[in-house]
Every structure is written in C-alpha cells, then in structure tokens.
C-alpha cells in the first residue's frame, strides 16, 4: 500500500518537473500573438534564428534583450503578411547568414556541406583497397607447400641435425 | 619492387601529414585571434551598403530630427552608445580625437532613458555633432547592431565603409579609422 502511494508520489513529482521544463522557454506571454497559427509559425522560425548576442542559442531560447526584440520583429513581420522566407531575409539583410542556425547551401559553404561526406567516401575507398589487398595476400598464403618447401621444413625439424651439417 | 616498398613506407607518414595539417590550421586560427579576429565576431553584411534609412528624434530636446538623408556630403562616424554600457565609457574620451581629424560625429543613443544619457554626457562631455535617440533599438537593428558600442564609418555618398563592434581603441583609430577617413575625404 505504501509502495503504491510512493509510486504515485514519484509520478506526480516527475509530471510537475516535466511541466516546469516545458514552460522554461524565453518567450514571454506578452510577446505571443493571439493568432495560434501565426504564433506557431513564429516559434518554428525563431527556433532556427541565431541570437547574435549569445551566438549559440536561438532567439527562441535566449533571454538576451536583443533576442526579445528580434522575436517581436519576427511576429510583427508575420502579422504584416510576410512569408517565412521573407522574415528570414529581413534578418539576413541585417545580420548576414550568421543569424541562420542552418547555414544555406551556396558556393561559400560547399566545403562545409560536402566536406564530411567526401571525407567519408575517401575513407571508404581507402578501406576497400586495403581490404582487397589483404584478401589477395591471404589467398597467397593458402597455397599448399611445394615439395621443395616440405623438404626444407623436414630438414629444419630433423632432431639428428644440429645445424652444422649445412643441409640448407 | 623497390618502388612499391618506397610507396608503402610513404603511406606510414600519412597520419603525421594529417597531424601537421591540423597543427597548421589551428596555428592560423590563433594568429587570426591575435590580430583581433575572434570567432565570436560576426562579419558585417553592412559594409559597402548604403546607410539604412532612418529619422529619429534628437536626444537633446528642441533640436531637429537626426536623419540618414543629412549624412551625405561628409565623412561621418556613427557611434551607437548607451549610458548603461560600460565599454562605451572606455571609448568615450577617444571620440574627441576623431572629431579633430575632421570626421563628423553622429551618436545613436541605444535603448537608453534620455535623462540617463544626458546626465552621462554632462559628466563625460559631449563630442557629438548630433545625437539620435533610438529608444526601442529598431534603427540599431537596421544597422545590424548586436553589441554596443558599435561604430560605422560612412563615406560622402552615404555608404558604410567600416564597422567596429565593441569599443574603438587608440590603435583602431590611428591605424584603421583615420587612414580610411583620409582616403574617403579625398
């Protein structure tokens, strides 16, 4: 009975903690838009926008003053009928591609996007060559010994031969 | 046969070569940091772009609006500052030397209470030709401001030619700002 009560207690505490965690984002109630559709678009957008002050947080997560201003701007742009791309462009015009947490794919970011896959391919290529070679050498060693080689081994293993006779 | 042996030996140096390449990259990055190019510096997209259009009330009441249209025709330094900003206080005494060099000095008072800003200027001196009051910080965002103080050097055509995030140092002024302004004043 007490065990069961304990379990219920633990579950209740866990639920409360989870709830708190969910509520701990930086967006203030007075920033939110009344239109839930626009608000959810604003949330998704601001999760992908970097706060220039904190630099490793999105403006959705950041408590910085500037992040607050940018969140408000995102919402105002959406209210005035901007598409998501237009809102992003508005901030890129001011802060550069740096504000986008996902860097765009263009010539200056080719190394960034393609570097890792290319290195992986190169590594796979090297591994393949290495593996092939090893297989070839192992096939080589599986060949049975020739008569001459057998004779050499027999001479080496001969207990009567102390090595001075010069059989080899 | 000897050639393949040699090639095999050469591949043994592969990890060493990769290691040395990495050392080279890291060293290069360190040199850049020494030169002041730290990874948290955001490269400005505003360089070589016309100044954002703005018209803000003057911090000092009774004076006309401070507008971007009035910037044309002279080399101007726009200095974004606030009384609550500690590095601004460090930079402040250096501004006089910029004005002496014949550069117009326009201040943008960023997200500040006017009474605080006026008190700050009263105490530390007012080197500015004009000061705009940007209370909600929107004009500063149009400039791409993310950390005050920030300064922008504007040429005679109203194009941004130089940006500094953080306080200007005597070296910045001597080695970068004044030579560039001289060039633009020609």
My answer on whether B95 and B127 are in the same domain is yes
My answer on whether B25 and B85 are in the same domain is no
**How many angstroms separate the CA atoms of B61 and B131, rounded?**
10
**Is B126's Cβ below 8 Å from some Cβ in A?**
no
Provide the ipTM: 0.81
> DSSP label at B174?
I
Residue B137 lies in a domain: yes
Nearest Cα to Cα of residue A74 among A84, A61, A64: A84
**Is A136's Cβ below 8 Å from some Cβ in B?**
no
Residue B129 lies in a domain: yes
Mean pLDDT, residues B35-40 taken together = 75
Q: Mean pLDDT for chain B?
A: 90
My answer on whether B14 and B83 are in the same domain is no
My answer on whether B82 and B29 are in the same domain is no
Q: Which domain holds residue B11?
A: 2-34
Other Cβ atoms within 10 Å of B76 Cβ, number: 24
pLDDT by residue (tens digit) across B86-140?
A: 999 999 999 999 999 989 999 999 999 999 999 999 999 999 999 999 999 999 9
B45/A92 touch (CB, cutoff 8 Å), yes or no: yes
Question: What percentage of chain A carries pLDDT values higher than 70?
Answer: 79
pTM: 0.74
Which residues in chain A touch residue B142, judged by CB atoms under 8 angstroms apart?
A: 94
Residues 6+ apart with CB under 8 A from A43: A27, A60
Residue A94: which of B111, B141, B147 has the nearest Cβ? B141
Residue B43 lies in a domain: no
**How many angstroms separate the CA atoms of B54 and B48, rounded?**
18
My answer on whether B92 and B61 are in the same domain is yes
- Are residues B78 and B154 in contact, defined by beta-carbon separation less than 8 angstroms? yes
My answer on whether B62 and B22 are in the same domain is no
Q: Indicate which CATH number applies to the domain containing B162.
A: 3.40.30.10
**H-helix or E-strand spanning residue B114:** helix B114-124
Number of domains in chain B: 2
B141/A53 touch (CB, cutoff 8 Å), yes or no: no
Q: Find, in chain B, the residue whose alpha carbon is nearest to that of A98.
A: B42
CA atoms within 13 A on the CB side of B150: 22
pLDDT of residue B148: 87
My answer on whether B153 and B88 are in the same domain is yes
**Is A113's Cβ below 8 Å from some Cβ in B?**
no
**How many angstroms separate the CA atoms of B112 and B167, rounded?**
18
My answer on whether B6 and B67 are in the same domain is no
């Amino acid at each position: 009975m007490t065990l069961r009560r304990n379990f219920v207690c633990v579950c209740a505490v866990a639920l409360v903690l989870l709830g708190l965690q969910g509520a701990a984002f930086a967006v203030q109630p007075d920033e939110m838009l009344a239109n839930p559709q626009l608000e959810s678009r604003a949330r998704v957008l601001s999760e992908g926008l970097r706060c220039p002050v904190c630099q490793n947080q999105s403006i959705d997560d950041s408590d910085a003053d500037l992040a607050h201003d940018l969140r408000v701007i995102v919402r105002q742009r959406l209210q005035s009928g901007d598409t998501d791309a237009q809102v992003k462009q508005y901030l890129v015009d001011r802060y550069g591609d740096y504000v986008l947490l996902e860097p765009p794919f263009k010539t200056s970011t080719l190394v960034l996007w393609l570097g890792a896959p290319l290195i992986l391919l190169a590594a796979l290529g090297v591994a393949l060559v290495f593996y092939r070679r090893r297989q070839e050498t192992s096939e080589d060693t599986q060949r049975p010994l020739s008569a001459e080689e057998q004779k050499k081994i027999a001479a080496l293993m001969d207990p009567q031969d102390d090595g001075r006779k010069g059989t080899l | 046969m000897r050639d393949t042996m040699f090639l095999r030996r050469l591949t043994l140096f592969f990890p060493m070569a990769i290691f040395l390449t990495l050392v080279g990259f890291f060293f290069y990055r360190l040199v850049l940091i020494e030169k002041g190019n730290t990874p948290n510096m955001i490269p400005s997209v505003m360089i070589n772009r016309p100044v954002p259009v703005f018209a803000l009330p003057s911090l000092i009441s009774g004076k006309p609006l401070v507008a971007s249209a009035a910037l044309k025709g002279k080399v101007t330094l726009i200095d974004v500052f606030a009384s609550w900003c500690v590095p601004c206080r460090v930079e402040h005494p250096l501004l006089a030397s910029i004005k002496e060099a014949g550069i117009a000095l326009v201040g943008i008072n960023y997200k500040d209470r006017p009474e605080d800003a006026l008190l700050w200027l009263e105490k530390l001196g007012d080197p500015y030709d004009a000061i705009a009051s940007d209370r909600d910080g929107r004009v500063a965002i149009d400039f791409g401001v993310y950390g005050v103080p920030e300064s922008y050097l504007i040429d005679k055509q109203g194009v941004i030619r130089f940006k500094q995030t953080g306080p200007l140092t005597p070296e910045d002024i001597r080695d970068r700002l004044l030579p560039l302004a001289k060039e633009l004043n020609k």
